[in-house]
Structure 1
Amino acid sequence: MLCGARSDASSLCGREGGDHQRDAAGSGPGGHAMKMNGTGMRIGVAVLALGASLLAIPSLLEAQRAAGISRVGWLEVCGPGPRRPHFDIFRARLAEHGYVEGKNLVIEQRFADCRYDRMPGLATDLVQVPVDVLFTMGTRAARIVAGTVKTTPLVVYSCDPFEHVTRLARPGGNLTGVTCMTTELSPKRLELLKEAVPKASRVMFLHDPEAAPNALKLTQEAAPRLGIRLQVAPVGAAEELLPELTMIAKERPDALFVYPDVVLSSHPRPRQLADFAIKAHLPTMHAFRFFVDAGGLMSYGATQSEIYTMAAEQVAKILNGARPSELPLRQATRFELVINNRTAKALGLTIPPSLLLRADEVIE
């Protein structure tokens, strides 16, 4: 990857360049510097090129603005699926604010192929484009990008508070964004699952431990009063999902609680989880309705349309001149309970009528 190569060259230059200079100063007759070899020359050129590109960013941004063109970075951990409703919502809302892709807006998209270790390089690449503002989604991704990008305005979609947000009213620094309140709603989600499956006493909590430590803590605290013993299945990368599902099938819990992170939420994993759960005869609880659309049993959480609409509004404000540090982190206000009764029937489960009546939507 080009940006990754830049990053590696930069760190390599720091080591080899410094060592070479020390060797040169103490070598040769009369202390004269030795002639730099070809590798040293290439490294030196790489350092100069990187430094020049960073110095050029402000002037490039000014040139873009003078031409009436805004650039927004869209950085995703996983690749785009066959359908991209959230991106479409984001783009449409920007258009409503006067920023139209193909006219006065360019959206620079980057995807890390579900590899978190690629995120810093991709974020750096977007900064060097340069973009006027960078948007990323997912708590773990937001943490990585916020630790990498220090000056370019950031808008993040995060469901679990992290250290780069000092407070909701004024996040501070170069960062603002939206939060879906998924962590705070985790105990309520467990209550709804217990109501749907009253006999459930062992529930498996599937999550990325680096993305949702607070969610796990809150859910563990709520479990005993509901008569539930919570077991934990950590999935930190896409390749870890299948082994964990195999373990879950052997453990045979009464239900599966899926805390969403970017990897578990990305195509095709919602459908994989639904197919597995039906085959294993496991009722599932999710945070977002697209899991239920894919065949999961039920979900309770923020509507994704509102989240991406608010994110686009934050981006538009920054493009209009607002400082991220002065924009409050916006919180979701619309939540929905969705139940897939078709899946319930496939599981041989009868959802209590009182719960069906409270649902915002029942899929038959």
Structure 2
Amino acid sequence: MLGEVRRDDAVLAPESSNPDITIAIIEQSQALRVPAVFGTALWVGYGGLMSYGPDYYAQGVQAAAPVAKILRGARPQDVSVEGAEKIDLAVNLKTAELLGLSVPRKILFRASARWRRAHPWARDRASCAALRRALCRSSARCPGRRCSR
């Protein structure tokens, strides 16, 4: 998947609804010793170097406010459209150490999340499989009871 990546490159991973792809990107980027950057902090906890993107929970809470206005009688055209108010920066210091990178202090001070522990599958490979099952079952494409995950 990342066969043409050079040592001085970095991978900006796309958002994927398939955790197998994202986990493969993390595993291959670590094997090639190339940083992987994501748009969601979830994958930083699983070994990505860093992420910068919206907090989806906070975005859902924020999206509820205009919906509530409309439900209370406001006309939809009178309700303003808003962008994400909360953007998270997350850094995995363990991954930075494994890649031989130092994280500047400015980044550490701005980071809303920092991981200093080993990746879940380094301790317990089953936690990775559990994540895959949970994400699959929350997907509309999951085959349900016949799911092999």
For normalisation by structure 1, the TM-score amounts to 0.29
1:345 aligned partner: 97
The percentage of counterpart residues that share the same residue type is 31
Following the alignment from structure 2 to structure 1, what is the Cα–Cα distance between the partners of residues 54 and 73?
Answer: 29
Q: Secondary structure at the match of 2:3?
A: helix
Q: Please identify which structure carries the higher strand content.
A: 1
Aligned to 1:276: 28
1:319 Cα offset (Å): 3.2
Partner residue, 1:157: none
Aligned to 1:292: 44
Cα separation, 1, equivalents of 2:100 and 2:17:
26
The unaligned stretches of length 5 or more in structure 1 are: 1-245
Q: CA separation of 1:333/1:322 partners in 2, compared to 1, >3 Å: closer, same or farther?
A: same
1:304 aligns with 2:60: no
Verify: 1:357 aligned to 2:109, yes or no: yes
* Match in the other structure for 1:328: 80
In the superposition, relative to structure 1, how do residues 292 and 327 fare at CA in structure 2: closer, same or farther (>3 Å)?
Answer: same
1:33-90 Cα deviation digits (max 9, x unpaired): xxxxxxxxxxxxxxxxxxxxxxxxxxxxxxxxxxxxxxxxxxxxxxxxxxxxxxxxxx
Pairwise CA distance, 1:259: 4.4
Q: Distance in 1 between matches of 2:63 and 2:20?
A: 24
RMSD: 2.3
**TM-fit CA distance, 1:256:** 1.0
Distance 1:272 1:327, change over 3 A: farther
The runs of 5 or more residues in structure 2 that have no matched partner are 117-149
What are the within-5 Å matches in structure 2 for residues 1-364 of structure 1? 246=1, 248-252=2-6, 254-260=9-15, 264-364=16-116
Number of aligned residue pairs: 115
Q: String of CA shifts for 1:298-325, please: whole Å, max 9, x gaps.
A: 1122222221112233333333333322
Which structure is larger by alpha-carbon Rg, 1 or 2?
1
How far is the alpha carbon of 1:265 from its aligned partner?
Answer: 4.7
Identify the structure with bigger relative contact order (alpha carbons < 8 Å, sequence gap 6+): 2
Q: For residues 285 and 340 of structure 1, what CA distance do their matches in structure 2 show?
A: 10
Q: 2:40 and 2:18 mapped to 1: Cα distance?
A: 12
**Counterpart contact for 1:270–1:294, Cα < 8 Å:** no
Match of 1:325, SS state, is helix
Q: 1:312 to 1:358 in 2, by over 3 A?
A: closer
Render the CA deviation track for 1:113-168: whole Å, top value 9, x for unaligned.
xxxxxxxxxxxxxxxxxxxxxxxxxxxxxxxxxxxxxxxxxxxxxxxxxxxxxxxx
1:356, distance to aligned residue in structure 2 (A): 2.3
- In structure 2, the CA distance between the partners of 1:269 and 1:316, relative to structure 1 (3 Å rule), is farther
Given that 1:287 and 1:302 are in contact with CA atoms closer than 8 Å, whether structure 2 keeps it comes out as yes
Q: In 2 relative to 1, CA 325–294 (structure 1 residues): closer, same or farther, beyond 3 Å?
A: farther
